Each structure stands twice: as C-alpha cells, then as structure tokens.
Amino acid sequence: MQHSEKPLQIDIVSDVVCPWCAIGYSQLAEALKQTNTPHEIHWHPFELNPNTPSEGRNYREHIMEKYGTTAEDIKESLTRMTAAGAEVGFNFRFTDEFRTYNTFNTHQLLHWANQQGRMHDLKQALFVAHFVDNSNVGDSAVLADIAASIGLDRTEALAVIEDQRFADVIRESVQHSKQPGIQSVPSVIFNGRHLVSGAQGVENYKNIIEQLTEMSE
C-alpha cells in the first residue's frame, strides 16, 4: 500500500488510569504497524477522576459508586477488558486491591517529558506501572522512579511534581481537551479533524487509517 510522504497526525486525549485508553492505544498501534503507516502521535491530558484523593481509591468501590454498577457487572467488565488487552499484548493485572489514582501529577510529568521528546515513552511506562505492576501513580516518589526507569532524571522529575511547575498548563490543557465535544476517553483525532471516540478494535482502526490515507493521496 502506497503512503503519502506526510505522516498521519494523531492526537490522543486520554488518562493514565483509563483501562480503555491503554487498550485503545494498543489496538491503534497494532493497526498502524499492520498498515505500515508513517505517523506522529501527540498525547493530551484528561482527568477521569479529578477528585480522587492522593492515596487513591479501591477501583471496584470507585466504579460502583460512580456508575451505580454491581459487583457482578464490574467482574464482567474486568474480564472483558483483560481479554481485549491480551489480544493486543497488554496484560492487565486486576487484583481485588487494584486502586485508581489522582492523575494530575502524572499529566505534569508527561508535559515535562514532552519537552525532552519522551512523552510517548513515559505514557507507555505509566500505563504498565498502573495496570500491570499496580503501582501508586499518585505518589511522587513512584512517579519519579517510573521517569528514571526510562532514562529521565529522577531528581528533576521529583522537583517538577513537588513544585507543581506545570499545574496551570495542565489545568488549561484539560479544559482545552474538553472543548471539541470530547466527553469520554480515549478520544483520537486524526489529522486535526476526524474524531473517533472509544477503543475501536484493530480492524476498525485499520479501516479508518486506510480511508484517511486514501483521502490524503
């Protein structure tokens, strides 16, 4: 399949504690790989649960309270997400103690990593830390360790969080992310104008990519 020289611009609005964001990105990445599409990915912040306390909350309790779902609903949902993740090589580990965390600081750290061209790598490391290793991504020291694990400066990472260096930038970005009618995440915007919400599956993403590639030729 012939591709135009111009890479596909992909903006992804997501949160680190959103399971479908990890699944959706993994599906999209597989679709990009299978179609061999040149692309550029830019991540944008979204706060799924801005009122979560710093110590986090039990995920099951949080979902039951937020959506009024039953324990049985949650069990089915976790099974479905685990299967969807496994299909694209993302291995969720949902334990009974699995927690969700406040991600305001993760978004600040991602903004900082972006200045060094490492935002994408840090995003992937945060997904794994949260969903596979069950790490507390609301904790400053844990976040600094994750940054260090991909070769970023741990001391500087800690300083970014402790002095809340990018707090205003993130508040503004989160507001901006909501403006184009984005109510849920993941929301993927192709070439600045085609908005696709939710995890679509590899085949659907492939169809979307191929249609957009044809349009740009």
Q: Which pLDDT score is estimated for 20?
A: 98
Asked if 150 and 118 count as a contact pair (C-beta separation under 8 A), the reply is yes
2 pLDDT band, cuts 50/70/90, is: very low
For the stretch 64-117, pLDDT in tens is 999 999 999 999 999 999 999 999 999 999 999 999 999 999 999 999 999 999
Share of the chain above pLDDT 90, in %: 90
Asked if 102 and 49 count as a contact pair (C-beta separation under 8 A), the reply is yes
Q: Is the pLDDT of residue 180 over 80?
A: no
Asked if 44 and 173 count as a contact pair (C-beta separation under 8 A), the reply is yes
Indicate the domain borders of the chain.
Answer: 8-216
Mean pLDDT, range 167-196, rounded to an integer? 90
Of the CA atoms within 13 Å of residue 14, those in its CB half-sphere come to: 31
**Residue linked to tokens 């309270």:** 65
CATH fold group of domain 8-216: Glutaredoxin (3.40.30)
Q: What is the pTM of this model?
A: 0.95
**Residue linked to tokens 């596979």:** 132
